[in-house]
């Protein structure tokens, strides 16, 4: 029995090696292409872009212009100047024209395993065109913002592509954000139209969406901004249409309006540097930042990384567990895979529902070639035992991807050995909302010798530099550790923050002049492989969701009984990091469970469920320096019980505070 199993595994390994040669067969090939990409970015990217449809071609020379040095003037980046294109045309029409219209574009499963739907490229093009026509009919024009607050249904990527088709700028808001957070985002980008759904089942739990949109729209109206149209999709299960709150002057049922629209909508040809979309993300201070991506560069970054990092070829089956509410869902679920003509497998439910075998059964059912997920999900799946992946035939898998946070060795080995049968390379992609597409990764080729936990080598055109955080000087030796910055420019980089170019410059380009500052710490080993060590700023990563400590603090201090709050990230076995809050109340005698719950509910209301602190630690006072700065380093040690290693506390204004906080731990 066991011998048979070994034999069958060897066979699959043999099949894997014979069915396709790696795109970059040797290290020398990668080196040569990489060198070309950094020595002549304009020529290199011009060639890469020539594989896509441009309505008007950009000139071979002079299409790239940029300045990323704040000392020389405003930061600005322009790729493919003079060219016009449309990403929805490149994702859809191009394949239909090439005779691939009947190929599956999305394979979707909903909350229940029996909820299944497949959509072909032609069908998606028609759905996208109908939606685009509807948006135009309610007055949406090129450059207008459209808010998308939808669960993971095929209509979500369709809505994104419909915006792209007419040059509207989408802002997808993750379904886990609260009404306050949705309102803040609508107000920031002045989105007059919202696309949403009634609600959705997540496992056994109903999640309502339309009522949240109503509340958000009302909040925006109070601030003087009126949303003019809300298009609502009826998703069966969570909230019946008959019980969905409705404003007939503003709300339109998707199922009534969209089928009536024409399935033909000519794409609006856009300049390469026109805006493509906005995506809000957290920073270390202040309100969320609306990261702006543009049409041409983003398209090329998404398409080319899919090609080289995931070896996507037309007809391949690519499975991605990401939600379109985050950048991974934009680049590697909606846009990049369709640019490569693959069939995307997506799950609209909870990945562990009804049990730990759901994702593996899907991978088997649809014969996924590539599987892309986040370490936090891998950790929760591996906890459920090896039996789940072993119950499914995963022999179709060839490449495994990871994203969102550093992958710990244990999870890496489980992924590699149990899921991938020691046969599939792990492509651990390091990147950010702001970079638009993957910046570093081990390439899926046998020569790569990927190391568990390492983000591998820079992608084409990416020049990572390791800086000494104290001096800001570049550490040039191969082996180095410090903060990670990127030199130069790449097509898919963010161009600005919506409405705040000054903040864009000060957050990313002012800290280390002449470089893009990533906010991550990093080590480069003697082989030149990169290892991300985590954020060096006040941003934490909870289950791959990025959240600023300042945002949680400001939500807490908005609560009437909260005088002050300090939030830190602490290590968490599944989530990577968990939110840990020190809270000073107005009057110390209310340190009750009810108060704790009230504070947590408040954060849920202001931001959303994923931002609720795991722990609230009562703090009659916070450790501060004499100049009034909260000593987070000290708080981290207190939270983790490492008070013996507090380090230098000579600048503490009131040394007694530390003792008091230690006593209150767990209370």
Catalytic residue numbers, as ranges: 537
Question: What distance lies between CA 410 and its chain's CA centroid?
Answer: 23
Tell which positions 433-452 bind ligand WT7, by CB under 6 A.
433
Tell which positions 270-299 bind ligand WT7, by CB under 6 A.
281
Give the residue with the Cβ less far from ligand WT7, 251 or 520.
520
Give the residue with the Cβ less far from ligand WT7, 279 or 612.
279
How many degrees, rounded to 5, is the angle at CA 370 between CA 369 and CA 376?
145
**Site membership for ligand WT7, residue 546 (CB under 6 A):** yes
Give the residue with the Cβ less far from ligand WT7, 276 or 541.
541
Q: Which of 341, 347, 334 is nearest to 117 (CA)?
A: 347
Give the residue with the Cβ less far from ligand WT7, 220 or 539.
539
**Residue 260 Cβ vs ligand WT7, minimum distance, rounded to whole Å:** 38
**Residue 434 Cβ vs ligand WT7, minimum distance, rounded to whole Å:** 7
In the structure, how many helices (H) and strands (E) does the chain have? 22, 32
Total residues binding ligand WT7 (CB under 6 A): 21
What span, in angstroms and rounded, lies between the C-alpha atoms of 285 and 14?
52
How many degrees, rounded to 5, is the angle at CA 84 between CA 83 and CA 89?
135
**Residue 537 Cβ vs ligand WT7, minimum distance, rounded to whole Å:** 9
**Residue 252 Cβ vs ligand WT7, minimum distance, rounded to whole Å:** 32
Give the residue with the Cβ less far from ligand WT7, 82 or 534.
534
Query: For residues 372 and 316, is the Cβ–Cβ distance under 8 A?
Result: no
How many degrees, rounded to 5, is the angle at CA 430 between CA 424 and CA 431?
135
**Residue 194 Cβ vs ligand WT7, minimum distance, rounded to whole Å:** 23
Query: Which part of the chain contacts ligand WT7 (CB under 6 A), choosing from 37-45, 303-311, 343-351, 516-524?
Result: 516-524
Judged on CB neighbours under 10 Å (0-12, 13-18, 19+), 505 is middle
Identified binder of ligand WT7 from the candidate list 421, 520, 551, 553, rule CB under 6 A: 520
How many degrees, rounded to 5, is the angle at CA 234 between CA 143 and CA 611?
70
| CB contact set of 235 (below 8 Å; sequence gap of 6+) | 151, 153, 197, 198, 199, 200
Query: For residues 434 and 414, is the Cβ–Cβ distance under 8 A?
Result: no
**Residue 204 Cβ vs ligand WT7, minimum distance, rounded to whole Å:** 28
**Residue 441 Cβ vs ligand WT7, minimum distance, rounded to whole Å:** 8
Q: Which of 413, 379, 446, 329 is nearest to 25 (CA)?
A: 446
**Residue 522 Cβ vs ligand WT7, minimum distance, rounded to whole Å:** 9
Q: For 57, which DSSP code?
A: P
Tell which positions 358-417 bind ligand WT7, by CB under 6 A.
403-406
Beta bridge partners of 566: 582
Give the residue with the Cβ less far from ligand WT7, 84 or 518.
518
**Pairing between β-strand 576-585 and β-strand 562-572 as defined by DSSP bridges:** antiparallel
Give the residue with the Cβ less far from ligand WT7, 196 or 543.
543
Query: For residues 481 and 522, is the Cβ–Cβ distance under 8 A?
Result: yes
Give the residue with the Cβ less far from ligand WT7, 199 or 453.
453
Query: For residues 488 and 473, is the Cβ–Cβ distance under 8 A?
Result: no
| CB contact set of 197 (below 8 Å; sequence gap of 6+) | 150, 151, 153, 155, 209, 210, 232, 233, 234, 235, 254
Site string for ligand WT7, 315-344 (x = CB under 6 A): ------------xx----------------
User: 634-637 contacts: CB < 8 A, separation 24 or more?
Assistant: 634/658, 635/566, 635/568, 635/582, 635/661, 636/568, 636/570
Query: Which part of the chain contacts ligand WT7 (CB under 6 A), choosing from 255-263, 299-307, 431-439, 605-613?
Result: 431-439
Query: Which part of the chain contacts ligand WT7 (CB under 6 A), choosing from 164-172, 423-431, 444-452, 654-662?
Result: 423-431
What span, in angstroms and rounded, lies between the C-alpha atoms of 309 and 332?
11
Query: Which part of the chain contacts ligand WT7 (CB under 6 A), choosing from 194-202, 210-218, 428-436, 588-596?
Result: 428-436
**Residue 435 Cβ vs ligand WT7, minimum distance, rounded to whole Å:** 7
Query: Which part of the chain contacts ligand WT7 (CB under 6 A), choosing from 148-156, 208-216, 422-430, 580-588?
Result: 422-430
Tell which positions 473-492 bind ligand WT7, by CB under 6 A.
none
Query: Which part of the chain contacts ligand WT7 (CB under 6 A), choosing from 24-32, 427-435, 509-517, 603-611?
Result: 427-435
Tell which positions 455-474 bind ligand WT7, by CB under 6 A.
455
Question: In the structure encoding, which two tokens stand for residue 211, read together?
Answer: 């009522």
Beta bridge partners of 193: 146, 229
Query: For residues 462 and 440, is the Cβ–Cβ distance under 8 A?
Result: yes
**Site membership for ligand WT7, residue 129 (CB under 6 A):** no
Give the residue with the Cβ less far from ligand WT7, 169 or 484.
484
**Residue 406 Cβ vs ligand WT7, minimum distance, rounded to whole Å:** 4
Identified binder of ligand WT7 from the candidate list 432, 454, 549, 554, rule CB under 6 A: 432
**Site membership for ligand WT7, residue 532 (CB under 6 A):** yes
| CB contact set of 213 (below 8 Å; sequence gap of 6+) | 149, 179, 182, 194, 196, 230, 232
Give the residue with the Cβ less far from ligand WT7, 571 or 601.
571
Q: What is the CA radius of gyration of the chain?
A: 25
Q: Which of 442, 385, 142 is nearest to 268 (CA)?
A: 142
**Residue 375 Cβ vs ligand WT7, minimum distance, rounded to whole Å:** 8
Give the residue with the Cβ less far from ligand WT7, 121 or 516.
516
Question: In the structure encoding, which two tokens stand for residue 662, read together?
Answer: 């230690």
Residues in the site for ligand WT7, rule: CB under 6 A?
281, 327-328, 403-406, 428-433, 455, 518-520, 532, 535, 541, 546
């Amino acid at each position: 029995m066991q011998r048979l199993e070994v034999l069958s595994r060897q066979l699959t390994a043999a099949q894997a090696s014979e069915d396709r040669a790696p795109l970059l067969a040797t290290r020398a090939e990668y080196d040569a292409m990489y060198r070309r990409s950094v020595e002549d970015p304009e020529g290199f990217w011009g060639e890469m872009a020539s594989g896509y449809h441009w309505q008007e071609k950009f000139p071979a020379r002079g299409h790239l212009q940029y300045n990323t040095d704040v000392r020389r003037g405003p930061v600005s980046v322009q790729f493919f100047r003079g060219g016009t294109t449309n990403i929805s045309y490149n994702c859809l029409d191009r394949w239909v024209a090439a005779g691939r219209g009947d190929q599956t574009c999305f394979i979707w499963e909903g909350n229940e395993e029996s909820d299944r739907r497949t959509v072909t490229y032609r069908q998606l093009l028609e759905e996208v065109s109908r939606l685009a026509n509807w948006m135009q009919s309610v007055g949406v024009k090129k450059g207008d913002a459209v808010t998308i607050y939808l669960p993971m249904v095929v209509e979500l990527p369709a809505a994104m592509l419909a915006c792209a088709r007419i040059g509207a700028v989408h802002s997808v808001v993750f379904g886990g954000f609260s009404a306050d957070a949705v309102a803040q985002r609508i107000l920031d980008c002045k989105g007059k139209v919202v696309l949403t759904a009634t609600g959705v089942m997540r496992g056994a739990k109903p999640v309502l969406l339309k009522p949240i949109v109503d509340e958000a729209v009302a909040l925006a109206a109070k601030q003087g901004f009126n949303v003019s149209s809300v298009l609502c999709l009826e998703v069966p299960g969570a909230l019946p249409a008959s019980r969905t709150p409705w404003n007939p002057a503003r709300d339109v049922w998707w199922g009534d309006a969209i089928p009536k629209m024409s399935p033909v909508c000519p794409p609006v040809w856009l300049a390469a540097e026109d805006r493509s979309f906005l995506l809000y993300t957290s920073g270390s201070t202040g309100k969320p930042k609306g990261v702006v991506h543009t049409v041409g560069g983003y398209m090329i970054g998404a398409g080319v990384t899919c090609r080289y990092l995931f070896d996507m070829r037309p007809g391949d089956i690519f499975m991605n567990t990401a939600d379109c509410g985050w950048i991974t869902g934009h680049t590697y679920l909606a846009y990049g895979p369709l640019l490569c003509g693959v069939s995307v497998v997506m799950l609209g439910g909870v990945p562990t529902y009804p049990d730990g075998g759901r994702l593996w059964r899907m991978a088997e059912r649809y014969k996924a070639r590539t599987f892309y997920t986040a370490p936090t999900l891998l950790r929760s799946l591996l906890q459920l035992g090896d039996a789940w992946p072993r119950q499914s035939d995963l022999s179709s898998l060839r490449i495994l991807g990871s994203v969102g946070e550093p992958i710990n060795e244990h999870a890496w080995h489980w992924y590699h050995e149990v899921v991938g049968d020691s046969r599939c390379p792990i492509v651990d992609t390091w990147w950010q909302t702001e970079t638009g597409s993957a910046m570093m990764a081990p390439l899926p080729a046998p020569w790569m010798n990927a190391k568990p936990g390492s983000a591998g080598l820079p992608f084409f055109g990416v020049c990572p530099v390791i800086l000494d955080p104290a001096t800001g000087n570049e550490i040039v030796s191969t082996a180095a550790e410090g903060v990670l910055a990127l030199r130069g420019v790449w097509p898919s980089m963010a161009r600005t923050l919506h409405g705040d170019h000054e903040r864009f410059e000060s957050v990313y380009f002012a800290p280390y002049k002449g470089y893009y500052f990533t906010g991550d710490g990093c080590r480069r080993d003697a082989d030149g492989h990169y290892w991300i060590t985590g954020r060096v700023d006040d941003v934490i990563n909870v289950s791959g969701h990025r959240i600023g400590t300042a945002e949680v603090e400001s939500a807490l201090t908005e609560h009437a009984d909260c005088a002050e709050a300090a939030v830190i990230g602490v290590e968490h076995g599944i989530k990577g990091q968990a939110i840990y809050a020190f809270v000073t109340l107005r009057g110390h005698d209310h340190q009750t469970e009810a108060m704790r719950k009230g504070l947590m509910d408040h954060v849920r209301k202001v931001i959303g469920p994923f931002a609720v602190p795991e722990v609230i630690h009562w703090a009659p006072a916070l450790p501060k320096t004499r100049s009034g700065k909260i000593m987070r380093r000290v708080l981290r040690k207190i939270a983790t019980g490492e008070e013996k290693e507090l380090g230098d506390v000579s600048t503490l204004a009131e040394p007694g505070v530390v003792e008091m906080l230690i006593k209150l731990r767990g209370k």
